[in-house]
Structure 1
Amino acid sequence: MPIFLTGFMGVGKTTVGKRLGELQQLPVIDMDHYIEEKEGMKIKDIFSEKGEWHFRSIETAALKDLMKVEAVITTGGGIIERLENREMLAAVQTVFHLFCSFEVLWERLEGDSERPLVQKNSMDGLLELYNRRLPLYRNVSKIEIDTTYKTIDETISELKRNLTS
């Protein structure tokens, strides 16, 4: 069964996922990289050339592919944009929502040229997106972990406690 890490961009899904995979002796699949390999192009290029709707369709297909893979899977921040994706994730017991205060996220994200939604949004625009997505992450996850002032090791310890309980 996969272990999914969800949450807004910048919360630490990729970093935490890599460490968790090492400790659990599981492969780690970053959904954005998975999609880039399948499509042969960068996420930001898919967004600019084909649009967000096309990207979200590819993302849903990727999620379907990965639902039965035994791995740590780090999702893109917008995975919860589609109802179909939320329904798939809500059916899995090992979905963790990594959460971080918006102020700390903004410090991490400001000026990030690799994230299309950071590039096209102001701080206020990202805050609006963050506030809209937050309840969606909470609806699909079984456990929420606040990463705001935690080290990676503290976050991993909390994840592992919840995996064994």
Structure 2
Amino acid sequence: MLRGTLVMQQCLKSRPTDIFLASFPKSGTTWLKAMIFSTLTRTNCSLDKHPLRTHNPHQCVPYMELQFATGRSQIIEVIPSPRVMSMHLPYFLLPDSIIESGCRIVYVWRDPKDVLVSMWYFSQKILGGADKMVTFDQFYEFFYQGLSPFGPIWNHILGY
């Protein structure tokens, strides 16, 4: 994700009509994506053919760091305005073009206790086997110390 962040900072050309959905991981990003996407497309799609009936919200609203990290940033350019995109970047790492464009940033945050539990279960699912498991107490210590790819949760929230 570091590579994607660096490329995004250099290459993203934000538009004034863009809408960026920002959050700390496991804070309700999927829910927010679905809600905003359905609000923006409510007049364009009939209920029986709405994209969210057949696609995950992550397929409808691109995750910025991933698009730039995997070399698929051209997908961003072809999205018609208003573009809706999501990210987990802390505010201080946002590309200058986002700040300068005057676009909208919608930030969602969740009670840190709930984020901790959700992140722990998610990490256990990702890690897989019992030999790779991190105890909840160990994970709590990491979280409490702010050891996360996205920094301490309170800094992330307060930045926005």
Asked if 1:6 corresponds to 2:5, the answer is: no
Asked if 1:20 corresponds to 2:43, the answer is: no
Between the two proteins, the alignment pairs up a number of residues equal to 108
CA RMSD of aligned residues (A): 3.6
* Match for residue 70 of structure 1 among 72, 82, 88: 82
Summarize the Cα distance change of 1:37–1:87 in structure 2 as closer, same or farther, 3 Å threshold: closer
Q: What is aligned with 2:54?
A: none
SS in 1 for 2:35: helix
Asked if 1:124 corresponds to 2:141, the answer is: yes
Paired amino acid for 1:12:
G
* Match for residue 157 of structure 2 among 122, 134, 146: 134
Q: Separation in 1 of the partners of 2:69 and 2:89?
A: 15
Percent of pairs with identical residues: 9
SS in 1 for 2:121: coil
SS in 2 for 1:29: coil
Q: TM-score, normalised by structure 1?
A: 0.50
Deviation by residue 1:68-90 (Cα, 9 ceiling, x = unmatched): 95321111x234352xx264433
- Give the ranges of 4+ consecutive aligned residues of structure 1 lying more than 4 Å apart after TM superposition: none
Q: TM-score, normalised by structure 2?
A: 0.51
Q: What is aligned with 1:99?
A: 109
Deviation by residue 1:47-79 (Cα, 9 ceiling, x = unmatched): xxxxxxxxxxxxxx89x969x95321111x234
- Residues 5 and 17 in structure 1, CA contact (< 8 A), matched pair in contact too: yes
SS in 1 for 2:108: strand
Q: Separation in 2 of the partners of 1:90 and 1:124?
A: 34
Paired amino acid for 1:38:
G
Summarize the Cα distance change of 1:33–1:69 in structure 2 as closer, same or farther, 3 Å threshold: farther
* Structure with greater proportional helix content: 1
Q: Separation in 2 of the partners of 1:99 and 1:15?
A: 12
SS in 1 for 2:27: coil
Paired amino acid for 1:73:
M
Paired amino acid for 2:156:
R
Larger Rg: 2
